[in-house]
Every structure is written in structure tokens, then in C-alpha cells.
Amino acid sequence: MVKEKIFVLVFAALLLLAGCLEKKDETAPTIKISIEGKEGEENWYVSSVTITFEAHDNESSVKELKYRINGDLWRDYVMPVTLRKDGFYFIEYYAKDSKGNENYGNMTIKIDATPPSINFTNFEPGYIYFWGKKTPTPRIPRDTMIIGDITIEASADDNLAGVKKVEFYMNEGLAFEDNQPPYEWSIKNAIGIYNITAVAFDYAGNYASITIPEVQIINIL
């Protein structure tokens, strides 16, 4: 009987000791995030984006690693997540270890891989412009001519990031920059044959251009 009591006491002491020696895990797992995509400007991406999550826990095992996009259902993370369409994405993610500790985070991804649109609104090839007034032109010496002053207007639009500015060029040289609609450029004191180009830039860094080639300009007043 005495031996049995001693055995019980020793066993209880060992259990108590094991409980005291057991390492408590009160630290949440860490989450590492890798993002692959072509970066534009103003924190935009101008290509599809692939996101990789990795969860680690040094004291116990990772039990769950989940994510969701734009408030949709939570999904188990099993492979990299690829975002292919233009838009705004609110990404939430969390990891839980076997002791119930959780780590939660979120981020926003902005994708605009589409260039803005741009057009001339009062200028087109095949006409003579006398002080801004459009008239049909003979084909000699050039299809498109500007005689006197003219203000060239361009319309630009971007449905996501927004239009940042429009640049106007004579051949390769930057002639004027306008960052407010209506986008306008007044040609003065120029003579010669030029390619007339307008380039629209959005805030993501995409751009698009339109060119009317070989415009004869006579404006020396």
C-alpha cells in the first residue's frame, strides 16, 4: 500500500513537472508575402500580379493559412494567387498555429495595364487650317497644312487610374504639356514640315499617342 502511494505521488509529481516544463506558445505565426508584377507609378501595377504567402511558426506548427479577395469567402492558400484583370483588390490573409495563435493582415493591390485613349478633336489629316478654320486641301504640296495661328485640342480619357497629362510634340521635340482638360496647344512662330503628336499619360504610367505625319506649318507672325 505504501509503495502504491509512493508511486502515485511520484507519477503526479512527474506530470506536474512535465506541465511546468512544457513550453507555452503565445506567439502568432509570421507571414511572408512576395508580390510579382510590373510596377508602374503611384503604387499601381501595369501587369498581372502574382502573390505568394508563406507562414512560419518557430514554436508550433502552422495549422491554417487563408486569404480572401474583396470580401469574398475565405480560401485555403495552396498555391500563388494571380490577379489578371484591371481593378482594385483588397486582400485579407491570416495564419493560425496549432495553439490557436493568429496573425491577420491586409493590403490593397491596384492594377491598370490599359493605356489611356487619346484623339485630336479639331485637327485631322487632309485639310488646310487657315487661322484654325478647316478647309479642304489640294494634294500639293502636302495633304495637311497649318497657315497662321491654331490651337490644337486633344481629348484623353482613362477609366481607372485617370489621365495625368497630355504632351504635344513637333517631330521628336516636346512643344507643350497640359495637365488639365481641355488639353490644348497653341502653335505659334513655326515654319516647316513636322509630325504632330499628342501623348496621353495616366497616373499608373501607361501612355498612348496619336500622330498626324508631315504637317506643313507656315506661321511666322
pLDDT digits (tens, 9 = 90+) for 96-132: 999 999 999 999 999 999 999 999 999 999 999 999 9
Q: State mean pLDDT over 49-78.
A: 95
Q: Nearest-CA neighbor of 90 among 103, 71, 75?
A: 71
Structural domain that includes position 55: 28-111
**DSSP H helices in the chain:** 2-21
The pLDDT of residue 107: 98
Domain end among 66, 84, 111:
111
Which CA distances in Å does 155 have to 35, 40, 128, 220? 35, 23, 21, 27
CB-neighbour burial class of residue 194 (10 A; exposed 0-12, middle 13-18, buried 19+): buried
Average pLDDT of the residues of the chain: 90
As given in the structure block, the three cell numbers for residue 97 are 498555429
State yes or no: pLDDT of 5 exceeds 60: no
SS3 162: coil
Q: State mean pLDDT over 174-194.
A: 95
The pLDDT of residue 123: 97
Q: Within this chain, do residues 174 and 201 fall inside the same structural domain, yes or no?
A: yes
Confidence of residue 140 (pLDDT cuts 50, 70, 90): low
Q: Within this chain, do residues 85 and 151 fall inside the same structural domain, yes or no?
A: no
Q: Within this chain, do residues 53 and 84 fall inside the same structural domain, yes or no?
A: yes
Spell out the residues 6+ positions from residue 25 whose beta carbon is closer than 8 angstroms to its own.
57, 59, 60, 97, 99, 101
The pLDDT of residue 117: 98
Largest CA distance in the chain: 125
Q: State mean pLDDT over 142-167.
A: 95
Is there a domain that residue 165 lies in?
A: yes
Total Cβ atoms within 10 A of residue 153: 18
The pLDDT of residue 13: 45
Q: State mean pLDDT over 20-24.
A: 53
Q: Which residues of 91-120 are buried (b: 16+ CB within 10 A; e: fewer)?
A: bbbbbbbebebebeeeeebbbbbbbbebeb
Q: What is the CA radius of gyration of the chain?
A: 33
State yes or no: pLDDT of 137 exceeds 90: no
Spell out the residues 6+ positions from residue 99 whose beta carbon is closer than 8 angstroms to its own.
25, 26, 59, 60
Is there a domain that residue 21 lies in?
A: no
Spell out the residues 6+ positions from residue 113 whose beta carbon is closer than 8 angstroms to its own.
45, 46, 47, 48, 86, 206
State yes or no: pLDDT of 4 exceeds 70: no
At residue 38, what are phi and psi to the nearest 5 degrees?
-80, 120
Q: Which residue has the higher pLDDT, 188 or 184?
A: 184
Q: State mean pLDDT over 42-50.
A: 98
Q: What CA dihedral angle connects 82, 83, 89 and 92, to 10 degrees? A: -10
pLDDT digits (tens, 9 = 90+) for 202-214: 999 999 999 999 9
Confidence of residue 9 (pLDDT cuts 50, 70, 90): very low
Q: Within this chain, do residues 205 and 155 fall inside the same structural domain, yes or no?
A: yes
Residue 51, Cα to own-chain centre: how many angstroms?
Answer: 14
The pLDDT of residue 17: 41
The pLDDT of residue 59: 81
Residue linked to cell 510634340: 169
What CATH code is carried by the domain that includes residue 80? 2.60.40.10
State yes or no: pLDDT of 152 exceeds 60: yes
